[in-house]
Amino acid sequence: MKRNFKLLLKTSAFTAAALAATGFMFFSPGKIAWYGDTPVIKFDVRVNTEAFEQSDAFQWIQIIQDSGVDWFKQGQAKAALNSGDSYSGTGFPSSYSAGICSGPDIKYAEVFTAVNEDIDCTSSSCVHLWSCEGRDGIINGSIQMNLSGYHWSFKEEPGYINLKREIMHDFGHLLGLNHCRAGEKNCNGDPADSSVMYKFTDSGVTKLSNDDVQGLQELYGALTLPFPTEGKYALTGEDVSVITGVMEYMDQIGVNDPESKQSFNNYSMGLAAFSVKKTGKSMEQQTHDFFQKALATLPGSSSEALRLGIKFNTMAIFLSDRWIKEASITGKSPFDVNVMGIAKNYHVQLRERSIDILESRP
């Protein structure tokens, strides 16, 4: 009997995303994306530890979670993979409702395997997706990885399947990407680079190519994050959880709809006007004063406080950057754009200084 574990996924938002035309290969008969303007696709890692040592199980989990982070921070699209609670079970329950369809209207949409027509998933891994009858949109999905009969490795080794390579490829399918065109290692045919979504998963590629990123952004739109993708200031799994949590929460409470945005803008501008009148200082000066004090307190802060501060500043940088970009397009903003720019720069300083201090401590 095969020992396997499954990644079981669900989405939290169900507003249809706008999809642009592209030459990238997507699901047939056309593009299928997860529902939601900024969908956060949660996955849960369940490992049958009888198949290998428990220490190996933890390493598997870490590689899988890190791969979800890579798709988000490198892909920089308005969709995210994030570890969290999810539906659990071996099939898709008829009682499940995605807010758009339920029961008999749920259909098995796609299966991607290493072997054609392998519905029972006897190959190394399979991606299963469900959608609503008559509608193009993913409402649920799972990744099954089979351990028995296959040789897996945490690195590139002859005769072994590289877990990082396989799961990065499967996450691409889960998000809505098909394989590169036949015979092309790069999805747009550029021989200078190989893509994660190349059809054959023995290519050794574990980092997203420009074409992988382009395909993802064609489905969900671009979300340029104001963080480096490499180095000690790059986003961690915890940072991604913070940002994706904010994305999901804002969708759930309706902050992204025009009426709510206008109400929030009016409220924020009223608070700013009251603060200026009460203190006699401009918002720019109040912002400088506040953050200078915050920077001065960092060296004496506990390590726990610094870690919490990193999460808070990550969220603040993301939101400030988002509001500034929206203001440049719409001309509307909950705060003065100049003040938001000042605050964003200070949040970057606070985040990086906190990381530096933690790194210097034993």
The domain containing residue 192 runs over which residues?
A: 4-220
Cβ(33)–Cβ(19) under 8 Å? Answer: yes
* Residue 227 in domain: no
Asked if 83 and 202 sit in the same domain, the reply is yes
Distance separating alpha carbons of residues 133 and 244, to the nearest angstrom: 28
pLDDT for 295-350, tens place per residue? 999 999 999 999 999 999 999 999 898 888 878 877 766 678 888 899 999 999 99
Last residue of a domain, one of 220, 251, 271: 220
* Residue 259 in domain: yes
pLDDT for 141-175, tens place per residue? 888 877 777 888 888 888 888 889 989 998 998 88
Cβ(81)–Cβ(71) under 8 Å? Answer: yes
Q: What is the pTM of this model?
A: 0.79
Asked if 282 and 352 sit in the same domain, the reply is yes
Asked if 191 and 42 sit in the same domain, the reply is yes
pLDDT at site 142: 80
Asked if 18 and 151 sit in the same domain, the reply is yes
Asked if 64 and 183 sit in the same domain, the reply is yes
User: Which range, of 39-53, 69-83, 296-310, averages the lowest pLDDT?
Assistant: 39-53
**CATH label of the domain that carries residue 84:** 3.40.390.10
Asked if 199 and 252 sit in the same domain, the reply is no
Asked if 183 and 245 sit in the same domain, the reply is no
Q: How many domains does the chain have?
A: 2
What is the 8-class DSSP label of residue 238? H
Asked if 195 and 313 sit in the same domain, the reply is no
pLDDT at site 21: 25
* Residue 231 in domain: no
Asked if 216 and 241 sit in the same domain, the reply is no
